[in-house]
């Protein structure tokens, strides 16, 4: 079993992940097209809006208004927790000593790692954030209204690699080999799930917020659906 998930299944997961990534990116480019930009040359009309030089008080007020209407203003706790969640999600696996040793053993690639105590703490924080999400999905009425089994399943799929990795590292519960097998399996399932489920919001987010031009794009985009 261990050899299977360490060998063929790992390659399969990687191929599916990279293949799916490319597929999704191509799909998104195909579904959108270059936008025809409309320009206006700087007008000299007398009654133009403010030129942009605001007093410090005004600047502060404007910032406060746009902040309180933003997502962080409306959901401050959620924003903080999800930011921490996502940071831990990305940084922990990439800079984990265990993973990088594995990488070195397999492909002789040296990669920077964080101290193990730090990644340990980050994993715990991640798991706590995940529990917060689960509870939130059950308790908050507007989320209950649209949540389904899939949402909880995907949360679990995301948690599983971290949980099993933590337990494997600390060698609690089952024996090390079993836990490690489960961990690798969980990681592979998660990689495969990214392109087939809403976990693909990773790719989608960057594409739509940076490429598609809309009222809410983070930079003026150059494409439209």
Partner 1 sequence: MIIAKVKPLEEIKDMVKDYPKVLNVGCAGCTAVCLAGGQKEVDTLNTQLNSSFKADKVSFQVDGFTVERQCEMQFLAELDKIAGQYNAFLSMGCGAGVQFLAERFPRIPVFPAVNTSFVGVNKDIGWYEERCSSCGDCVLGITGGICPVTMCAKGLFNGPCGGPEDGHCEVDKDIPCAWVNIYERLKEQGRLENILKIFPARDWQNQIQGKIILEPYKKRYIK
Partner 2 sequence: MTTPEVKSIDKEKIKDILNDKKGKMKLSLFVCAHCGLCAESCPLYRAHDRNPEYMPSYKVINSLGKLYKKIKKLDRNFLEEIKELIWKNCVLCGRCYCPLGIDIPSMIALARGVCRSQGISGVYPHSLGAPEEDFPEALSHIGVSEKE
Under the rule (CB under 8 A), what is the footprint of partner 2? 27-28, 30-31, 71, 74-75, 78, 137, 140-148, 151, 197-198, 200-201, 204-205, 207-209, 212, 214-217, 225
User: Is there a contact between 32 and 210 (Cβ–Cβ < 8 Å)?
Assistant: no
**Which is nearer to partner 1, 40 or 112 (by Cβ)?**
40
C-alpha pair distances (Å), 50 with each of 53, 65, 156, 162: 7, 17, 51, 52
State which of positions 26-55 bind partner 1 (CB under 8 A).
Answer: 37-42, 45, 49-50, 52
Under 8 Å CB-to-CB from 223, ≥6 apart: which residues?
Answer: 29, 32, 33, 34, 35, 211, 212, 213
**Which is nearer to partner 2, 97 or 155 (by Cβ)?**
155
Among 30, 57, 149, 220, binds partner 1 (CB under 8 A): 220
**Which is nearer to partner 1, 11 or 54 (by Cβ)?**
54
CA distance 20 to 193: 10
Could you give the 3-state DSSP secondary structure of residue 224? strand
User: If contact means CB under 5 to 8 A according to the sort of partner, which of partner 1, partner 2, none does residue 71 touch?
Assistant: partner 2
CA distance 217 to 12: 35
Between helix 149-170 and helix 76-94 the angle, nearest 10°, is 50
Least distance from partner 2 to the Cβ atom of residue 119, Å:
26
State which of positions 199-218 bind partner 1 (CB under 8 A).
Answer: 213
Least distance from partner 1 to the Cβ atom of residue 51, Å:
9
Give the interface with partner 1 as residue ranges (CB under 8 A): 37-42, 45, 49-50, 52, 213, 220
């Amino acid at each position: 079993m261990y050899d299977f998930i360490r060998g063929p299944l790992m390659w399969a997961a990687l191929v599916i992940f990279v293949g799916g990534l490319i597929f999704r990116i191509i799909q998104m480019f195909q579904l959108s097209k270059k936008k025809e930009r409309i320009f206006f040359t700087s007008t000299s009309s007398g009654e133009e809006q403010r030129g942009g030089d605001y007093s410090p008080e005004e600047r502060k007020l404007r910032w406060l208004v746009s902040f309180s209407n933003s997502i962080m203003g409306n959901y401050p706790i959620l924003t903080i927790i999800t930011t921490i969640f996502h940071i831990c999600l990305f940084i922990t696996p990439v800079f984990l000593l265990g993973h990088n040793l594995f990488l070195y053993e397999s492909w002789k690639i040296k990669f920077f790692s964080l101290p193990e105590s730090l990644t340990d703490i980050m994993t715990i924080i991640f798991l706590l954030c995940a529990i917060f999400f689960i509870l939130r999905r059950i308790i908050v009425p507007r989320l209950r209204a649209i949540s389904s089994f899939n949402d909880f399943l995907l949360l679990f799929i995301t948690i599983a690699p971290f949980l099993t990795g933590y337990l494997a590292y600390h060698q609690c519960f089952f024996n090390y080999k079993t836990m490690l097998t489960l961990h690798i399996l969980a990681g592979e399932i998660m990689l495969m799930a990214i392109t087939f489920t809403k976990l693909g919001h990773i790719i989608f987010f960057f594409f739509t917020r940076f490429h598609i031009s809309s009222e809410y794009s983070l930079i003026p985009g150059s494409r439209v659906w």
